[in-house]
Structure 1
Amino acid sequence: MVREQYTTVTEGTHIERPENQNIYKIGIYGWRKRCLYLFVLLLLAILVVNLALTIWILKVMWFSPIGMGHLHVTADGLRLEGESEFLFPLYAKEIRSRVDSSLLLQSTQNVTVSARNSEGEVTGRVKVGAQMVEVQSQHFQINSEDGKPLFSVEEQGAVVGTGRLRVTGPEGALFEHSVETPLVRADPFQDLRLESPTRSLSMDAPRGVHVKAHAGKLEALSQMDIILQSSEGVLVLDAETVGLTKLKQGTQGPAGSSNGFYEICACPDGKLYLSMAGEVTTCEEHSHVCL
């Protein structure tokens, strides 16, 4: 700023103006000016570096108008091409693969899929680990392509919905407790074995137990006793020939009296034995077998 001094004079008087000794210059000079220029250069350098880094990030991350790298934004959601790794939880309403490929979920530890209600509580969970596949749910069910239930498990029990339950293990099926079924049948041309190595084998039914062998023989083997018992009915052996090959034989009667025929006798304890047949029964004569 320039401060001027004004002097009042009369007309015809000539006065020389004094020199302007008090003059103030406008602007920044000296070291302040150099610091300002240095600061502007620093800002310009930072701007150039940021622009270069932004361009580099866009190039490395493969940003494009349709997405980022293998991740494409479509009208139906996000489409991911190739293999991807998620370091944190992934929340999605639906995850599906392409039509011509399968969906693969892989982890070095385990893969866990959880379902939660509106309050955040877990209502169902599937955990696939290295040693075991664990399902946590109130009801587990497997359906066929047409929606028919094939297998279901709940607290009340398990249900197999297929027409046939086939066990292909070499040792068959092992049941620790009772089994309820309307039919037990082997494959064609295969033997059916019901075996209890260390305990007894019991088959009970309120309206009878039917054991049939349409094209073969029926064997019942036991280390101890085989008991056929009917509480209210009779025991019927209906066959063309009934053979008891290892029955004990009583004392032989008079020569020529039996013509080679025998009769079956029973002891009071139910034991059977053979006795040479005569005109009348000879069981009383040979009852010493019962002793």
Structure 2
Amino acid sequence: MVREQYTTATEGTLIERPENQTVCKIGIYGWRKRCLYLFVLLLLIIFLVNFALTIWILKVMWFSPTGMGHLRVTEDGLYLDGESEFLFPLYAKEIRSRLDSPLLLRSAHNVTVNARNSDGEVTGRVTVGPEMVDVQSQQFQINSKEGKPLFTVDESQVVIGTDRLRVTGPEGALFEHSAETPLVTANPFQELRLESPTRSLRMDGPQGVHIRAAAGGGRALSQEDIVLHSGGDGRLVLDAETVCFPELGSGTTGPAGSSQGLYEVCVCPDGKLYLSAAAAATTCHESSHICL
């Protein structure tokens, strides 16, 4: 680019132009020009590499207008198809599986589900570990399909709402303290045993205790005493065609043939029973030495 020099003069003045004019060149030349072109070329290469990586990431991650990979965005929320791994906590209002497949939660250590209140405090927790399932809550309840409570546990009691509680273990059910129930029955064609190996067995009923064996007999065994007590004006009634006392002691027998094989049951003051030969009048006083 050439810059010309002009000299102002008044009218009528003769000015001679210089023979040699000075020329100044403006621009980038030499090594600066080469560095600029190299920098532009480097920026172009970086742009092409970033563009290629972006296209590769979009292809590998399966980006689409509706979502990414197996994850799709729908009107109802997020739809995830296939197995997924979450490295950090997952917060969701509801998690559902497809209608034709179950929902599987799998972890290398344990699976923990927490419920929090508005203040962020944990009010309920379910932890499924390799050795046990731990439930921390004020109340644990299992309902039927119709919403009927089947099993309820809280700090004060355990409520079983089913029509029948069935224990299939060979040792039966073990109660360390008392058990309250309106009916205790065994499976068909199996015997029912109420047993206390080291302590006493006590059955109380405000309106009575009914023991019934519809297809067999009943037997009571004890290492010490068996006490049948009826308080108040109640009576002890043995209602059967035959009442047998095979090992009942007998008192003094009368003359031969006098009792004709008949005996009467006598009772000692301490409740002990014994037999005495029957006669026209009672003979219990003659055998009262058994009570001593």
Which structure 1 residue ranges, 5 or more long, are not aligned? none
Give RMSD over aligned pairs.
2.0
Q: 2:67 and 2:168 mapped to 1: Cα distance?
A: 51
Q: 1:202 and 1:55 mapped to 2: Cα distance?
A: 81
Please say if 1:36 is aligned against 2:29: no
What residue is the counterpart of 1:236 in the other structure? 237
Please say if 1:6 is aligned against 2:13: no
What residue is the counterpart of 1:187 in the other structure? 187
What residue is the counterpart of 1:247 in the other structure? 248
Deviation at 1:112, TM superposition (A): 0.9
Please say if 1:260 is aligned against 2:261: yes
> Which stretch of the first structure deviates more once superposed, 250-259 or 60-69?
250-259
What residue is the counterpart of 1:272 in the other structure? 273
Please say if 1:163 is aligned against 2:163: yes
Please say if 1:95 is aligned against 2:117: no
1:150-229 mapped onto 2 (5 Å cutoff): 150-229=150-229
Q: 2:15 and 2:78 mapped to 1: Cα distance?
A: 92
Normalised to the residue count of structure 1, the TM-score between the two structures is 0.92
Q: 1:156 and 1:272 mapped to 2: Cα distance?
A: 46
Deviation at 1:171, TM superposition (A): 1.2
Deviation at 1:28, TM superposition (A): 1.2
Structure 2 counterpart SS, 1:286: helix
Which structure 2 residue ranges, 5 or more long, are not aligned? none
Deviation at 1:9, TM superposition (A): 8.7
> Which stretch of the first structure deviates more once superposed, 245-254 or 82-91?
245-254
What residue is the counterpart of 1:287 in the other structure? 288
Letter in 2 for 1:265: C
Deviation at 1:250, TM superposition (A): 2.2
Q: How many residues align?
A: 290
Q: Per-residue CA shift, 1:101-145, capped at 9, x if unaligned?
A: 111111111111111122211122211111111112222221111
What residue is the counterpart of 1:20 in the other structure? 21
Q: 2:18 and 2:10 mapped to 1: Cα distance?
A: 12
Deviation at 1:14, TM superposition (A): 8.2
Q: 1:12 and 1:198 mapped to 2: Cα distance?
A: 145
Letter in 2 for 1:167: V
Q: 1:14 and 1:211 mapped to 2: Cα distance?
A: 148
Letter in 1 for 2:65: P
What residue is the counterpart of 1:73 in the other structure? 73
Deviation at 1:7, TM superposition (A): 6.7
Letter in 1 for 2:261: G
Q: 1:275 and 1:162 mapped to 2: Cα distance?
A: 54
* Percent identical residues: 69
Deviation at 1:174, TM superposition (A): 1.0
Q: Per-residue CA shift, 1:237-261, capped at 9, x if unaligned?
A: 1211111111112233222211111
Normalised to the residue count of structure 2, the TM-score between the two structures is 0.92
Cα distance change on mapping 1:38 and 1:259 into 2, 3 Å: same
What residue is the counterpart of 1:107 in the other structure? 107
> Which stretch of the first structure deviates more once superposed, 6-15 or 97-106?
6-15
Cα distance change on mapping 1:252 and 1:74 into 2, 3 Å: same
Q: 2:89 and 2:11 mapped to 1: Cα distance?
A: 96
What residue is the counterpart of 2:134 in the other structure? 134
Cα distance change on mapping 1:59 and 1:257 into 2, 3 Å: same
> Which stretch of the first structure deviates more once superposed, 198-207 or 245-254?
245-254
